[in-house]
Structure 1
Amino acid sequence: MGGSSVPKSAGSSLRRYNEQMLEKDISDLLSSWKQDLDDCLLIFVFAPGIVNRNSIFGCQVVRKDDPRIRHVPFPTRRPVLKEVDRVHHIIMSLQEVSEVRRQVMVRKVRVKKAPPAPAAAVATRSVEEERLNEPAIFSLVSKRDEPAIRALVHQDESAINVIEPVNRRSPLHCASLAGHARMVSFLLSLGADPTQRDGSGKVPYELCKGKEERDAFRRFWASEPDKWDYSKSQIPSMLTIEMEEQQKQKAAEKKEKEKQRKKEQERRKKEQAKQKKEEEEKNRAVQESQVKLSDRELRALAAERRLGVTSKHPEFECEMCKVKASSAPFERLGFKYCRWNSRASARI
């Protein structure tokens, strides 16, 4: 019934009373039907909610663990006699009474069927099975076992150009894709076809990952120019020994030029740093000499800067303080001084 044990209002008291009376009516009704219910093969119940289920199963006439209990497998309407007839008609039209009796009396053991394998798993399994059936030369190529490959090709020359079932690739395709330049040269020397295409329409040269594998194809073309129709192999050009020497020489020259360029940059940086340092020292010396000037001399220099007048006297070095200055010097006995105090000190 829900709620607390003590009613808190007149409305809740009335609701509880009605629920109790409803349970009593249902219990009395089911008790009067007990004989008929005991003779039933199946009992269909539609009682949504805890209160409704307690009203039906609380009187012990119908138990929850009764194997005959079934849930009405479709929605129902208002519980009136007409609706009961409709539900009964639908249920009886689904199965015959004999079939229902057989299902009640005989328990069928249901065996769970394994769920079907997903398409991806089936595809993976099929690919793995195909890989298990691929020729032995492919595993030898992946292991780079040259003696075993040579012996296998010696027994069967067609093994060098055999096709694996998954991607329709040859051993030369696999070696190019794996980036084994030495294996590429070895397979070509045994008669591997560089014009053979795989399932995606690519030749072995197109699967190369690096320069070494591509150069292996070009060197083979230079050594065997008439063995294959290299226009179908997508190899751009042959690579002779002379061409390799020229490439090495060009690479060395380029490296030397780059080295010289870096050295020149370092030299320029050092010169610029040296010039900057000299300018800073010169400016510092000028500032120090200006600090030692008298107020009158500083005002004269400031006036010259404002008027844009340059000094008529060349730069000289003071005989007393050894500081270079460009202002009008003080002279005595042929010696030049940057200020009067220096001249007076020299006189003393």
Structure 2
Amino acid sequence: MYNEEALKLEVRELLESWSHWIKQSECVFVHSPGNNRRVLFYENSVISAAEHQGRLRSIPFMTRRPTLSELKRTYQELTTVKVSVLSKETLERRELAEQEALEKATELSQSRTAKEKDASKKISKEPIVPEPSPELSKLIDLVKKGRTEAMSSHLLKHGIDPSMLLPLTSSSEYDIRRTPTILHLASHHGQASVVKVLLEKHIADPTVTASSAVENHQDPETTEDGASSLGTSSFTAYDIAKDKETRNAFRRSMALLPDAWDWVGQAHVPSALTPEMEAEQERKAKEKSRKLQEAERERKKTREANRPTTPAGQSPTSKSTSSSSSSVMAKSLASVSAANSHLSPEMRMRLERERRANAAEARMLAQRQGESIRRAVQEGKNVCVACGKSLDGLSPFDKFGRKFCTTECVARGPA
């Protein structure tokens, strides 16, 4: 950066020293691409003045590196007149080539104009698709946000049929392809409460598919083309449900209104979900959680009972034992977490609190062990600074004035 700034100042000082001859010149030729232009063009510079006066020109041919020899060559090219003598046949060939090129350019321009006219005609023939009404737009917005009560009141107020197909518009093409009805829209966005109200209160039809929307919005002559463009499918509202709770809303409605629709065949709902079934599932989940908690408590008691006792001044357990027990506990907690993925949110929160308490207890135990080892070392006892094991009768390893019982403790470091 320093060298670049120095070069810029040097070039500007040189231009100022040449300013007398530059001001007297009729034309000034400059080639300064990129950021180099800032070196020559600045406020009150002689080159900027030449540009304002209309005397500035660019060099009309390629130049090489800005050396003295290249500057001389450029000056010679600019001040030399070259005369070319062409025969009559050469001139005729050039005129013929120019005429052919002009004809090709004219034909290309005409073909492009014809294509643009054809495209504009096709666009004009396409039917103008109207936008949905404000009432329907507001209903779609309420369903997406999950405002159940407002959505229900809006349906009753404006007399909108919840089973009707959404209008085919340019702004809602994705909704038509994936969510042709209000029920599809609620299921796709995971609004379980909205699905429940639509099925049980407003008796929405769960058997409508996306292919029905295409057949309804296309003319008989263009049904096939429209179907291919929209990607027709036989997905019902249950098929595109976002999560398990939304699917359970369909199953609960099937249990409440078993004869209203062909739930299994056309709506693709696999089975009903009664309150008794949900209570049994919750009972089984709680029972399984209780058994897992009891097994975890038994394992903890077994570890406490098998923990070896040591004389005063030594650590109750080595750091390696603590780390291995912590890893075993982490693995067991991970397996418990995987097994309890089906539990209710309340049970999972309770188990999570217990896991955090166990982790905090393990950290406190490791901290107490470290404090015990440091206290023993400060009191001058002959113990390993990593695990607290007595070094009496052993040949300890010495590292930076600290004593270790094994190479593993040397690698692990002091507690």
Larger Rg: 1
TM range, normalised to the smaller chain? 0.3 to 0.5
Higher relative CO (Cα under 8 Å, sequence separation at least 6) belongs to 2
